[in-house]
Amino acid sequence: MDTANSSIPGLVSDDLSEFTEQIADQVSSFVAAVTEVARGEQPGQAVSVLLLEVSQLLLAGGRLGALADVVPEAVYEPDSPSVPDEDRLREQLATLLEPIDVYSEVFDPYVAGAAPVTCRISDDLALIVADLTHGLEHYRAGRLVEALWWWQFSYLSNWGLTAGAVLRALQSLVAHVRMDTPLEKGVESLEPEPGPPSAAS
């Protein structure tokens, strides 16, 4: 795999390969786990599994965020990148999570007076998987720096915020169940609004 076009301070070629492989393993694990959950074969474990997987993904995201900016010499993007079956995944998750899919979130707490945005866990997870899969395409084609650049860029611009919001929603659901406190009346009738836009490829 070519790592010669890296300009990441503090990372030599071997370090970059190992770091990128670790991120790729975490990303692949998340995509596989969400896809498996979406099949609906174990609905009673869905929230717990998703909570664990999103938490682990954000650990990978934290490592990407702490890394110096990844700047490949020339950003390579395929002319016709394959698109994961995002709609199918979204529909499967929406069916599985139907009673608890909708939640509200303030995406940027540093914007004064920002109003909560109503979202869907199913939409957010499908968008995260799409972002991560795009980076996996680079990685599997041997473009390590481009994969790392994409995962870092999309973490900072899109899936990091989205995953953080999903994590809070899932943690809240688990807390409600474990503490035996019902969700507020009307939560299921919230109308979803667009969240932050997906990072452009």
Q: What is residue 128's predicted lDDT score, i.e. its pLDDT?
A: 98
Report the CATH architecture of 13-189. Up-down Bundle (1.20)
Question: Angle, to 10 degrees, between the axis of helix 86-96 and the axis of helix 121-140?
Answer: 140
pLDDT tens figures, 62-120: 999 999 888 887 766 665 455 558 899 999 999 999 999 999 887 777 878 778 889 99
Q: Where are the domains of the chain?
A: 13-189
CA distance 201 to 198: 9
Q: Which of 48, 70, 123 is nearest to 92 (CA)?
A: 123
**Which amino acid appears at position 197 of this protein?**
P
Q: What residues have CB less than 8 Å from 167, skipping those under 6 apart?
A: 51, 54, 55, 58
pLDDT tens for 132-171 read: 999 999 999 998 999 999 999 999 999 999 999 999 999 9
Q: What residue type is assigned to position 50 of the chain? A: L
Tokens of 167: 């994590």
Tokens 């199918």, residue located: 88
